[in-house]
Amino acid sequence: MSGRLAGILIRLGVVLAVVGAITAGCLSTTGRFPGDSMDVRWNTPADRTDSDHGNGVWLSGDTLVRSRFDAVTGFDARTGKRAWEYVPPGRSEICGGDADEAASVLVVVRDAEGRSEKAGECATAVAIDLKDGRELWRTGIAYVAGDADSERETVVAAGGVAVLGERVPRAVDVRTGKVRWTAAVPKDCSVGRFGAAERRVAAVLACGGVQVGTDEAPGSSGELHAAAFDSVTGALLWSTPLSARRPLLAGGSEVRVVSADPLVVAGPGAYYSFGKDGRAHPAIDYKGDYGAIGGTYQHTAPVRFWVAVDDNRLYALGDHNSRYYDHTLVAFDLATGEVAWGGTDEHIDGVEAQGLLVQDGKATVLTEADEHYFADGDVFVFDAATGEELDNRGFHDQVDGGDALFDYRGLLIVGEAGYRSSPFTAYERS
């Protein structure tokens, strides 16, 4: 081979190597590198009309369920095809609901036909079989005078029971509607928010303030307590002040039950967690060296999308640098309130997070599309025990945050409860 030909081949090889490196970099940046990306497996058709509001999305067995104000729809999780639809009668609207996924039952609360202007209008609970969409039972809900729908949970379901948010919460069998028990609420307390798990029903109580039956909202000036009830009998297992440091009064802040077992409450300024015996753990402040993990935006969004809890830890998405939406993932030890790992922008590469799923020992974070970096969004997977990054993939198509993430047989499914959008989109790794 002549020296001239050898030189040409060498230069050609250099050019091809550079082009290959640039191409690989572009593919990786845009989520189009083979073996390192996410592709759409299927998506459900977009809604034809806007929604006044969505109520939630759930996964039960092979069925995905989305509830809007005007209908509940079931989809086959394997294909995305619509399987059934429940439409409330006349002009009545669905106000909210919760699913016992293990029992394949969704209990929604709807108003009477033709909405009234009175508080407590959403006073009918209806159970829907998630396998075929048929109605199983219905019952009325007795609201407390002065309540507003937006200020109280209307129903929670788990462990084979649905707990209805009444003056004295009542638990019914999710499949038959038969009354199981009424909660043994202390005499000087009123129930605000509550939640349900397989063996426990959790509640936030307001104790020692304005009592039930007055014109004012119950417990409006009472001290906030966390409480646990036996899901089989309704017996009060324990009641503990939300804060061990100072009394926290009801009425001034948004309060939510993030997890019923272990019991974790998002309350004034912090997350409050409790042991199985009711002993309070150190609070986890919304703001710290780890950034800001609480605030209004997290309380108005579905809690399970921004915060997740397992047996020992709380995982939260938040702003490490609010000016640039530099989001972070941080894990806290519930028993100590200390950071177990995370809290730096390195964990999700300095981009805006859109959702969180903790399942099977892994923490999955969805990030939104970024037009400045020609990225359609990414998914990050971390070891929930150590925070070690296990996977990082880009999407072939633009993906925006929804209301929940699901892992179904290796598919990552994004669910959207309301607005004019596709209720569910399933992505597969490629």
Q: Looking at the predicted structure, is the pLDDT value of residue 372 above 50? A: no
Mean pLDDT computed over every residue of the chain:
81
Q: State pLDDT tens for residues 40-76.
A: 999 998 887 766 678 899 999 999 999 998 999 999 9
Q: Which conformational region is residue 21 in: left (phi greater than 0), alpha (psi within -120 to 50 degrees), or beta? A: alpha
Q: State pLDDT tens for residues 198-217.
A: 999 999 999 986 543 344 44
Q: Looking at the predicted structure, is the pLDDT value of residue 300 above 50? A: no
Q: Which conformational region is residue 144 in: left (phi greater than 0), alpha (psi within -120 to 50 degrees), or beta? A: beta
Rounded to two decimals, what is the model's pTM?
A: 0.84
pLDDT band at 297 (very low <50, low <70, confident <90, very high): very low
- Following DSSP, what letter does each residue of 204-258 receive, concatenated? EEEESSSPTTSSSPTTTTSEEEEEEEETTT--EEEEEES-SSS--BTTSS--EEE
In Å, how far from its chain's centre is CA 278?
Answer: 24
3-state DSSP call for residue 294?
coil
Q: Which residue has the tokens 């067995």?
A: 61
Q: Looking at the predicted structure, is the pLDDT value of residue 355 above 50? A: yes
Closest CA to 329 of 318, 337, 339: 318
Least confident interval from 8-12, 180-184, 219-223: 8-12
- With a pLDDT cut of 90, the percent of the chain lying above it is 50
Q: What is the mean pLDDT of residues 12-34?
A: 50
Q: State pLDDT tens for residues 108-126.
A: 999 866 554 444 478 899 9
Q: What is the pLDDT of residue 193?
A: 87
> Which residues lie closer than 8 Å to 429 by C-beta, 6 or more apart?
37, 38, 393, 410
